Amino acid sequence: MSVEIIGITVLWIFLYGYLMVASIDFGAGFYSFYAKVTDKKHSIRVVIDRYLSPVWEVTNVFLVFFFVGLIGFFPDTAYYYGTALLVPGSIALVLLAIRGSFYAFANYGVRENSIYLFLYGVSGLFIPASLSIVLTISEGGFIVEEGGHVHLLFSELFSSTYSWIVVLLSIVSVLFISASFLTYYAQRAEDNDAFQLMRKATLIWSGPTILLSFLVFLTLRTHNLEHFLAMVGEFHFFALSLIFFIGAVWLIYKQRYLGTAFIFVALQYGFAFFGYGYTHLPYILYPKLTIYESITGDEMGISLIIAFISGLILLIPSLFMLFRLFIFNADYTKAQGNK
Amino acid sequence: MEFDTLLLSRLLTFITLAFHIIFATIGVGLPLYICLAELIGIKRKDPYFILLARRWTRGYIILVAVGVVTGTIIGLQLSLLWPSFMQKAGHLVGLPLFMETFAFFFEAIFLGIYIYTWDRFSNPIFHWLLSIPVVIGSSASAFFITTVNAFMNTPRGFTLVDGSFLNVQPLVAMFNPATPTKVAHVLTTAYLTSGFVLASITAYFLLKGKGHVYYKKALHLSMIGCLVFSIFTMLNGDFAGKYLAKYQPEKLAAAEWHFETESRAKLLLGGILDEETLEVKYGIGIPAALSILAYNSPDAEVIGLNDFPRDLWPPLYIHYFFNIMIFSGMFLAFVAVLYFVFYYVKALNSLHPWILRGIFIGGPLAMLAIESGWIMTEVGRQPWILVGLMRTGEAVTTAGQVFEMLILFTSLYFVLGLLVPVILIRLFSKKSAETEIEKRGIIL
């Protein structure tokens, strides 16, 4: 395998990791706010306290990792995306900052503050929306280069059906992924109220999730035919994704094997995400930038890969330990507020 | 228009970093003190030190969170505001940036575990062990990010062919001539500043009449750090001066308003410069001291600014920041030494109000020194973003909305800057050390 393929695969794995852990986090923020508004105070908030607080920083690192790696492997992306994304990128950063500080301030009374809880809940939906704009832009047609200057065509972006559907899909997915995880977690914690609430939420959001996924397909056809045809050519990815989706919803409906159900959701998004990424190749920004022309030198590419592998040797056991201690630890999950 | 974007982008980068380094510095230094306090507590079976570690950790969580979010911001802002720089240098600084993220990852994982596992292990030493990766991770990320900045000062590890950087050698780029002095200085000043911030807070309580032995132990532990690291800081500050004389003489010359190349160059303290006539008023010059600082010999010749074309001069106001840094550093070392002299001489009282006052202002002063030293070194490499290779103006974004983003981020930092102290004060006054000592049943 060439350096550029390894590079983009590594990055894509990290982006997928971010997609999953951040979705749980973002969705939980929204459900937490919902619980406050509807006065269902109890359960979801405890879940956030006990599961999300120890891992929020790790969530954040997945994202930082992705874009640092992207620029290390493909420095040209900095030029196009960096210039074009000044505004959406900055907005996403401010929202991320609000959320990040929330975790720190939460333990000291801010959690009960409605304004902050509102910001926390709403930012959880706006961040995926603003980040998904990057995926839309990568399909081409929104960045122009004139006389050495790069511009983002805001009006085109705002009037594009495709871009709105991607945004909606990202929001709905966040709510769906998060709910399916919290269903599992609430059951492990033997919190029946939270379990029923999250189960209902999962089932409610499953419909829009799959509907919007199909719409993304359809609108991509008019926006970027080449990519659409590539996706049709690799249809098995998306068929598998659909099968796992059906499996997950079925298990949650039946209230059985909820851990497996969440793994199915992860696989559903995994197949769709990697299928999407695979068919997007070789373009990083259609049609201006491919992985081949923007690649960093071999020496740097190889040292990045070495750094990456040695990093993984360090990270995987540590992450495993983190998850063992907080997520797959029944005693800890059940224990209520004895911090 | 072009100029406006450049100025605004520089301003936005400045504001973000100036805000970030407050939290980053403490983020690097504080874990060391927490780790030490917990270890002493376990080894001596002293519950006060355990409590100290717990309370410092609580404050640390808040500070590190703001450090993380502002760090994420600056990480992305590099590409958003300086896209051409990242395009050109991305493949040169990719490795250390990547490694920094790993170190950060490592720290984040273990910090999460550390914070939420007090009392979860039967043997407390296991909990203490978790603090080690936090100390290593935070210092390692400082190390890696500093190598990136060092690279911008002395770019190495490539060959320049028609304006592109080819034959990249990532390790040579990382371990460039500026790396050793910069890393040493960044790390020791971070430990020093954190020590003084902790000592300053404790001194405040002691000055307010809280006489509990808990405070005395806290003060003493942080003062040991202050003493050790102020010595190291002075030493590597001297190395940093020698590095500048050799590799970036224009920065040193601008910081010292040293215009004519000459031997027995004088070190200038204070003073006001007339930028038109380049005449210095009210300054105190120490003959030959600059030659000694630069080359360890009073007769050594130090290159002056007049040897450089005027448009490559760094802004001359960096002299003021240079002086603030040095005066603050000297003051900190003086206070630390004084405290220990008074501590070990039986007849004297190391908790004398005047010493405590000195320690109390030492905290803010240390932070001021960090900011000034950083301004001096960053502004001192203007007009370059990559010294000798790329002007800052060539690297700036062409996007037109930098002003709006400046407002956006400034408001964010303003709100965070208000919230953080309010929450910290509320946190610690709601649960004072005395009530916690009582509640935990620590025997007096």
**What per-residue confidence (pLDDT) applies to A339?**
37
**What per-residue confidence (pLDDT) applies to A294?**
65
Quick one: what percent of chain B has pLDDT higher than 70? 98
Q: What is the mean pLDDT of the segment spanning B261-270? A: 81
Quick: pLDDT tens for A14-30: 888 888 888 888 888 88
Query: CB count, 10 Å around CB of B24?
Result: 26
Quick: pLDDT tens for A159-178: 778 888 888 888 888 888 88
**What per-residue confidence (pLDDT) applies to B1?**
44
Identify the sign of the CA torsion B376, B382, B387, B392. Answer: positive
Q: Flag whether pLDDT at A37 surpasses 80.
A: no
**What per-residue confidence (pLDDT) applies to B374?**
93
Q: Flag whether pLDDT at A337 surpasses 60.
A: no
Q: pLDDT higher for B160 or A287? A: B160
Mean of per-residue pLDDT scores for chain B: 85
Strand partners, B280: B273
Q: What is the mean pLDDT of the segment spanning B200-227? A: 87
Q: CA-to-CA distance for B264 and B288, rounded, in angstroms?
A: 4
Strand partners, A285: A289
B382: tokens are 């203007």
Of A106-120, A192-206, A247-261, the poorest mean pLDDT is in: A106-120
Quick: pLDDT tens for B271-302: 887 777 777 778 787 877 788 877 888 888 88
| Three-state DSSP state, B309 | coil
Q: Flag whether pLDDT at B440 surpasses 80.
A: no
Calculated CA dihedral for residues B112, B118, B120, B126, nearest 10 degrees? 80
B260: in domain:
no
Domain edges within chain A: 3-337
B258: in domain:
no
Q: Is A312 on the interface with B (CB under 8 A)?
A: no
Flag if B108 and A57 touch (Cβ within 8 Å): yes
Q: Flag whether pLDDT at B415 surpasses 50.
A: yes
A305 pLDDT band, cuts 50/70/90, is confident
B382: in domain:
yes
Which of B1, B13, B81, B102 is most worth mutating to test chain A (most A CB atoms within 10 A of its CB)?
B102
State the burial class of residue B44 (Cβ atoms within 10 Å of its Cβ: 0-12, 13-18, 19+): exposed
Quick: pLDDT tens for A139-160: 777 777 776 677 777 777 777 7
Flag if B112 and A69 touch (Cβ within 8 Å): no
Q: What is the mean pLDDT of the segment spanning A123-128? A: 85
Please give the model's pTM, rounded to 2 decimal places.
Answer: 0.87
Q: pLDDT higher for B146 or A80? A: B146
Quick: pLDDT tens for B380-404: 888 888 777 788 877 777 777 888 8
**What per-residue confidence (pLDDT) applies to B30?**
93
Residue B124: asked if its preceding bond is cis (omega within 30°), the reply is no
Q: Flag whether pLDDT at B18 surpasses 50.
A: yes
The tally of domains found in chain B comes to 1
Q: Flag whether pLDDT at B435 surpasses 80.
A: no
Q: CA-to-CA distance for A254 and A186, rounded, in angstroms?
A: 16
Q: CA-to-CA distance for B428 and B440, rounded, in angstroms?
A: 16
Flag if B94 and A325 touch (Cβ within 8 Å): no
Q: Chain B: give the shortest CA distance to residue A11, in Å.
A: 12
Check residue B346 and report its DSSP letter.
Answer: T
B275: in domain:
no
Q: B174: domain range? A: 5-246+309-440
Quick one: what percent of chain A has pLDDT higher than 90? 0
Quick: pLDDT tens for B50-81: 888 888 988 888 888 888 889 889 988 888 88
Q: Is A17 on the interface with B (CB under 8 A)?
A: no
B270: in domain:
no
B264: in domain:
no
Q: Is the ipTM of this complex over 0.85?
A: no
- Picking from B69, B92, B101, the nearest residue to A100 by CB comes out as B69
B325 contacts B373 by C-beta, under 8 angstroms:
yes
A76 neighbourhood in chain B, CB within 8 Å: 87
Q: What is the mean pLDDT of the segment spanning B422-427? A: 84
Flag if B86 and A71 touch (Cβ within 8 Å): yes
**What per-residue confidence (pLDDT) applies to B188?**
94
Q: Is A305 on the interface with B (CB under 8 A)?
A: no
B64 neighbourhood in chain A, CB within 8 Å: 104
| Three-state DSSP state, B270 | coil
B341: in domain:
yes
Of A225-229, B51-55, B138-142, the poorest mean pLDDT is in: A225-229
B232 pLDDT band, cuts 50/70/90, is very high
- The bridge status of strand A283-285 relative to strand B267-269 is unpaired
